[in-house]
Each structure stands twice: as structure tokens, then as C-alpha cells.
Chain A
Amino acid sequence: MEAAALGALMPMHLHVSATGHILSVGPTLAKLRPDEQLSGRRLLELFEIKRPQNIRSYADLVSHGSCLVRARFRHGDQLGLKGLFVPLPAAQDPLQPDRREADDAPPVLRPLPTPPGDAACGGLLNLSLGVNVVEAVQRYNLNSADFAPADPTVDMLYLIEAKSVALEESKRLNARLEGARSAAEVQALTDTLTGLQNRRGMDLVLQQLASSGQAFGLMHLDLDHFKQVNDTFGHGAGDHVLRHVAGILQDETRASDMVARVGGDEFVLIFQGCVDLPVLEGIAWRIIARLEEPVAYDGHLCRISASIGTTLSSFYTKPVADRMLNDADEALYASKNQGRACHTVFKPQQASRIG
């Protein structure tokens, strides 16, 4: 076959003589070494053959028969190449017409690896850029004419580019949706796990109450032993307990009161129009008693309790939300210090800062 036809069919081939010298080079392969004359040089002087292993001479390669080859240029940019080597017995024309009879074995894509014996043997090595194609196209300024029409490389490059455009669009959409989601979350007033108000919801109610001058009681509740439930039975149990707690807190309060989950196991209860200490103390102790009833989850019994601190807007000449929260928190910690599972009312006379 003529070198031109060989080049058109296989733009990255090397036709090698029986002595291991390059007879012809495909035009695209030649483009990878624009300043060098490849024809006439020895194959192994130009390329390092990495697979098959231990190829020290051209005869070594021929001894493998038809085989997959991984190679790279020995000098300059050592671009990895892969391809197929097919020995061509010297006596034969490189590519002969197909003269098989009707009942002969069907042609195989890769001839069986039958070393052609001792006879000197030329060969064809058809290379490809493999996954290095993107880099090679850029570096050597290859264009669609450098790839055989039967080679889907250009379609692959098209696909890489189209998919990266689509992926970029998807990423942009995801980022926008994520932004919208977090904006919605920031604006949300509800705790998604329990359905109670969240801290933001509580802040709004507290601000409204403080500015309206309406009297109210404020309770800060912190679960006891909740961490053990989480650590022992897992987060599923913890979430179950939190929902159970939310149910009890809502049961024990009126619809006009507000229950908020303000932290992992921290709750705030606001009793609108109620500054009656005995009533609130009753509610607090009832809540503690109900929370101490064990909760069944997945065959286990989860046991928790709660510590509560309470303050009233009537303790202050001018109730300020932040101060009231701090004072309820202080009372809550007094409960914790008393050995948990109890309720403490903030004592205004203890705090010199009350105005």
C-alpha cells in the first residue's frame, strides 16, 4: 500500500522495516515532531516502549507478535501514546488483498500473536493519543483534518466541550438554588426538626412583647442527659426525643404562648400576659415531671430530664429582651448547679444591675 493511503487511513502510524528503521510516518504523528525528520531513524532510538516490557531491540518487539503498545518519545515533550503493533512478514506486501476462501476463519481485529519465527519482519505501529488528546491538540495545534474521519476523536472533543458547558450551567443552577435555599432558611421562623419557632422567631415575638409593654413570663429550658441519649442510641434517637419534648412543651402551654427551640437541646417558652409565679412554677415542675417519663425508641428507653430558669417582665421597670434572656439563663444555671431536674426563678434583688 502506498504511504499516502496508509497516512490517510492511519494518520498516526509508523511503518517499520525489518531492521527496525522507520519507513513512513503518518502526517499527524509527524506534526508532533515538526522540526525532526522521523523517516529513516530507528524506532527504538525515537521511542521508549513501556509496554510490552523489556523491549531493548526491535527484534524483542517482533517476538511479541501482534501486541498492544504503550510508548513515548524519548526526547522533548514525552507525550504518552498507545496503539497496536502488527508484524508484517518481510516476504509479503505490507497489506495484501483479502484472499481468504469462503469457509476460512473470519477475520479478527487483532491478528493472533504468532511470532513469525526467525525471519526478519517489518511491522506497522498504529498509535493514538488516548486520553492525552486534549493536551496534544492544544500543544500541537491539531485540527479536525488531523484525525481520520473514522476516528471519533473530534466527536469526543465536541462532547467533552458540550458536556462541560452543560455541567457549568448545572453548577450555576445549583449555586443559585443553594443561595435561594439558604436565604429562605435565614428568613425561616420555624425549626424544621420540631416545628417549633426557632431563635429568629423567638426574637421577633420577644421584641414585639417588649415594645408593646405587655406583661409576660420567660422560661429557659435545657434538657439534662440529652447528650447521653445521642451518644448511646444515635442521632435518630436524639431527634425522636426532641420531637417528643416539643410535643410535651406544646401540650403544657396555651396556644397564645410561644415555644421555641433556640439551640440543640435548649428551649425558650414565653407566656403572654402571665406573670403569676405560682402558675408558672406549676407548669415548670409539670414539664420536668413529664419529660422524666422514659421515651421508647427502637426497643430502647431514653431517659432525660430538664433544668429550667424563669424570669418575669414585671421584675423590670423597662424589660429588655436580651437582659431577660440572660437572667433566665442565669436562673437555669442555678438549677443545673442544684443538681439538675429543677426549676429556679430569677431573683431580681440578687442582681444589682436591674433598673
Chain B
Amino acid sequence: MSNPDDNDSRNTDNNVSDEHLPSEQGHGEVAPADDPFADPGLPPHEHRRQDIDERAAKRSERTVALLFTVSMLATIGFIASYVAIPIDKIVYIWPFGHISGLNFALGLTLGLALFCIGAGAVHWARTLMSDEEMVDERHPIQAAPEVKAQVLADFAAGTKESQFGRRKLVRTTLFGALALVPLSGVVLLRDLGPLPGDKLRHSKWKAGSLIINENTMQPLRPEDITVGSLTQAMPEGLDPHDHDFLVEIAKAAVMLVRLEPKDIKDPKSAEWGHEGILCFSKICTHIGCPATLYEQQTHHALCPCHQSTFDLADGARVLFGPAGHPLPQLRITVNDDGYLEALGDFEEPPGPSFWERG
């Protein structure tokens, strides 16, 4: 870059190089006076304080060095906190509350160490590194005409020598082979998993299944369930430690509510219950979240994911939201021992809707 000392009379009073002034770049002089789009070139370079005042530059140097030193100290602090602070130490720090002292110290020191490196680098680049403007002309993307002609000639020669255009049989069979090869990849997609079959239409419930309270793992009796209560339940024979528990509970989870029989609007739903006790699948028919936000006064059950709302007093009819079907109801009765039991599986597939559900 130019030295501020060898400027001529057009030098500006703040000692700026005029190498990049429009006149020096040869644009200003040759451009026609009436060309409104003439390239004005770069504005005159202005120096920073650090470029002209060595003491300011020294100060910047010390600031950058200080930031880097703080970063070093913070890293040492990080290691020291890791060693010194017990992992279960809880301290009160406003506004975070009662938090882990170790977490806070590690985060603070590591954050400070990284921030000071960044801040130091930015301050260095802004105040000490050269900020002279430079023009770097872009070279043309297009190849030279003779290179282009050579490549096209080579390609034509290659086509001719390979006899690709003359031997039509070779060409056609090659196209066929290339078109068929990807099919092997398509066939392999079958290995993504076994076909679902009718698994989505059946759950673990069958005639005679006792209804197990998920809180006590004991079978439920009608007198356990009072009006206004909500009970989470599952079929007997499901063990939370079983390998397939999650697969089965995803279809079989139910909730039991008890309504005053006069409040039940759907006679079929009332008949499928027992003295006002209704047992619904709790898996939302939209995408399968547990729709158990039960409002006992309105008898509405909401799904927390997309606010689908089901009226449990009216056969779990969809009142609102993206769910496409009512929650399937399980037919229940009381067995000879006084326990609630299922009269069979759900009549409709429980859980989220799927393509072939109908």
C-alpha cells in the first residue's frame, strides 16, 4: 500500500493516500461527462487513531493482551471450579434461583474464556490490523476460445472413436441397463420393516380382561370410580418391564370416568359403560398423544398437543381440533367377583388415524 509521504498536491489534509481516488484509477478522466453511471471508485481512505498515534496503538495492544489474559485466567478458573466445587452444591443466585454452583461456575468461566478470545480478536482486527481498502479484480469465468474449441473437438472425436452413434444396439442396451440398475435400490426398501398387517386394528384388550389401575396395578371395581374422578388404566397381563410394553400400551391405554347417567347424551355410549362408568381409549385419534386433559364439569377431554377436544358425555365426539375420529370406547361390565372387565377389544382401531383406516 502507498506511503502517505509520497502524495502530491491533491493530498488531503488528513494524510490519506489518494491512490484509490477516482482520478488515480483512470476512470474519472476517461468517463464522458454525461455518464451518470460512472464508477466513482473507492472513497478516500481515512486513518484510524491507532494508525497515526503510536500511543493509541500501544493502548490497543495492551487492551487486546488484557482480554487474552482474562481468558487465560478464566480457563484456570474453570479448572479450579471443576476441582474445588462439589457436584451437588446448590447455591442461591438471583435471578436464577437455587442452582448448581458447579454448573454456574463452569458456565461462567468457560463463557468468559471464549468471549475474551473473541473480543480480543475483534479489537485487534479493528484497531491494529491493516484496514487499507484494496481492489481485487474478478477474473473472467469463461474459458479462452481456443480451450473451448479444443474440448469440443476432443469430445466429438471420442464419440466417433467409441462408435456410440453408429452401434445403435450397444447404445440402446446401455440405456436399458442404466435405467434398470436403480430398481435394486427400490426393492431393498422392502427391508425397512415387516408390513403392519392388521396390528393397528387390534390391542391387548379381549373379552374378560380385567381393567388394571395404573397407580396401584390392582384391578378396578366400580365403587373405586366416583363421579368426577379420572382413572388411568390398562389391560391385565401387561407388565411395564416387558419388552413389548410400550408397543402394547400405545394402543391399549384407557381412561375411565364416571358421569351421572342422566348426563350421558349418547345411549349407545351409556350402554357400553357400567352405571355411568365409561372407558375410552386415551390415545388421541389425530397423532396419538394422550388426550387426558379431562374437565370434569364440562366432560370434555383435551389433547395437549393440538387441542383436539372430545365430549366424553357424547361418545367422545370431536368438538374441536384436528382429530378425525371420536376416541374409541371400550365395552365394559362387572364380573362375578365385582371387578370391572372388558367385553372385547375396541370396535375401531385405537390411536392415530392411518391411511387404510377407512
A and B associate: no
Chain A positions within 8 Å of B, measured between CB atoms, are: none
